[in-house]
């Protein structure tokens, strides 16, 4: 009996903070998504499924759904392909490789807000250095963030630039956990490099692959800071993902009820996709 009491006491602070500042708001978000609350009224009025009906016909929502998935997929592909290639180049332990592993991590230390500004300057059509460089090569400069077709890819590159090292370092850890004698065995078997990678290395780093795929995908689906700073969702909605649309509806237009409905949609997407990923990717993990 005393035991139970003490256990409860140990859990109490975490339980209280977690419930009041996360679980309660999350649950009430579902509730608000059925109201027209504007953030000012004390008593929001119930409007049934109206928000969700509006969601289905809202052009902005469909556009931002497309943008959200585009960003998430490109980010997942980019960070995992490039991250794995870098990790393969860096898995050794001579001083250059050790040093570079540290240098590559520096962008991770900087606030996403600052990263957004830095790339805003680089991409700037007026005083940016990217155009300066491209014009020096004899090609025409571009409006990297003002052009509807270019903006989203420019933004994605900046996000990858900052976060690539995280995927990389996790792949390095995965590669280093492969027992050395397996490499020796495959040398004796005379397996070619590519073959060895696909048949041996890649299956053995499956846990790192699963982790990175899920984390980068979720991160991509929810991304806000860098996009908000770099384009604010523009030009003409070309970079407005669900997180930015939610912010605009809830805090610029004060449509908290509708914003909550968008948040519920986001939650459903993140939940379904990450569960699917875990189930599919776990299947191919092998034990050694």
3-state secondary structure at position 35 = strand
Sole window of 52-60, 63-71, 144-152, 205-213 interacting with other proteins (rule: CB under 8 A): 205-213
Which of 19, 62 has the CB closer to other proteins?
19
Which of 152, 200, 230, 264 touches other proteins (CB under 8 A)? Answer: 264
Quick one: CA dihedral 14, 243, 160, 124, positive or negative? negative
Does 220 engage in binding with other proteins (CB under 8 A)? Answer: no
Distances (CA, A) of 220 to 71, 103, 151, 194, 225: 6, 24, 16, 30, 11
Nearer to other proteins, 57 or 96 (CB): 96
| # residues contacting other proteins (CB under 8 A) | 85
Binding mask 19-38 for other proteins (x = CB under 8 A): -xxxxxxx-xx--x------
> Is the separation of the CB atoms in 146 and 235 below 8 Å?
yes
Find the binder of other proteins among 71, 90, 152, 238 (CB under 8 A): 90
Q: Which residue in the set 71, 86, 159, 238 belongs to the binding site for other proteins (CB under 8 A)?
A: 86
Beta carbon nearer to other proteins, 233 or 259: 259
Pick from 11, 14, 223: nearest CA to 116: 223
55 binds other proteins (CB under 8 A): no
Residues 226-245 that bind other proteins (CB under 8 A): 229, 243
| Binding residue for other proteins, selected from 1, 13, 57, 94, defined by CB under 8 A | 13
End-to-end Cα separation, the chain, in angstroms: 44
Residues 6 or more apart whose CB falls under 8 angstroms from that of 239 comprise 67, 151, 152, 155, 227, 230, 231, 233
Closest CA to 215 of 70, 69, 77, 76: 76
The footprint of other proteins on residues 142-201 (CB under 8 A) is 161, 166, 169-170, 173-174, 177, 192-193
Instruction: For residue 46, give the DSSP letter.
Output: B
Q: In the set 49, 129, 272, 276, which binds other proteins (CB under 8 A)?
A: 129
């Amino acid at each position: 009996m005393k035991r139970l009491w003490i256990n409860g006491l140990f859990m109490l602070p975490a339980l209280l903070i977690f419930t009041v500042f996360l679980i309660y708001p999350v649950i009430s978000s579902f509730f608000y998504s059925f109201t027209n609350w504007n953030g000012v009224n004390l008593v929001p009025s119930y409007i049934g499924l109206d928000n969700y009906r509006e969601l289905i016909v809202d052009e902005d929502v469909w556009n931002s759904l497309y943008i959200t998935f585009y960003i998430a997929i490109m980010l997942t592909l980019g960070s995992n392909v490039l991250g794995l290639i870098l990790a393969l180049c860096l898995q050794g332990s001579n001083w250059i490789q050790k040093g570079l592993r540290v240098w590559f991590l520096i962008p991770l230390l900087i606030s996403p807000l600052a990263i957004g500004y830095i790339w805003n300057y680089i991409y700037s059509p007026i005083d940016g250095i990217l155009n300066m460089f491209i014009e020096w090569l004899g090609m025409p400069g571009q409006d990297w963030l003002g052009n509807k077709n270019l903006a989203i890819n420019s933004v994605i590159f900046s996000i990858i630039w900052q976060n690539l090292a995280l995927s990389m370092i996790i792949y390095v850890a995965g590669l280093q956990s492969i027992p050395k004698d397996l490499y020796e065995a495959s040398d004796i078997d005379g397996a070619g490099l590519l073959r060895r990678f696909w048949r041996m290395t890649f299956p053995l780093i499956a846990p790192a692959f699963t982790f990175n795929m899920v984390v980068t995908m979720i991160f991509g689906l929810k991304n806000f800071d860098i996009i908000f700073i770099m384009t604010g969702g523009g030009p003409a909605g070309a970079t407005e993902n669900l997180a930015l649309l939610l912010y605009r509806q809830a805090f610029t237009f004060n449509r908290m009820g509708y914003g909550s409905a968008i948040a519920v949609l986001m939650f459903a997407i993140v939940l379904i996709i990450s569960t699917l990923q875990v189930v599919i990717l776990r299947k191919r993990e092998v034990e050694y």
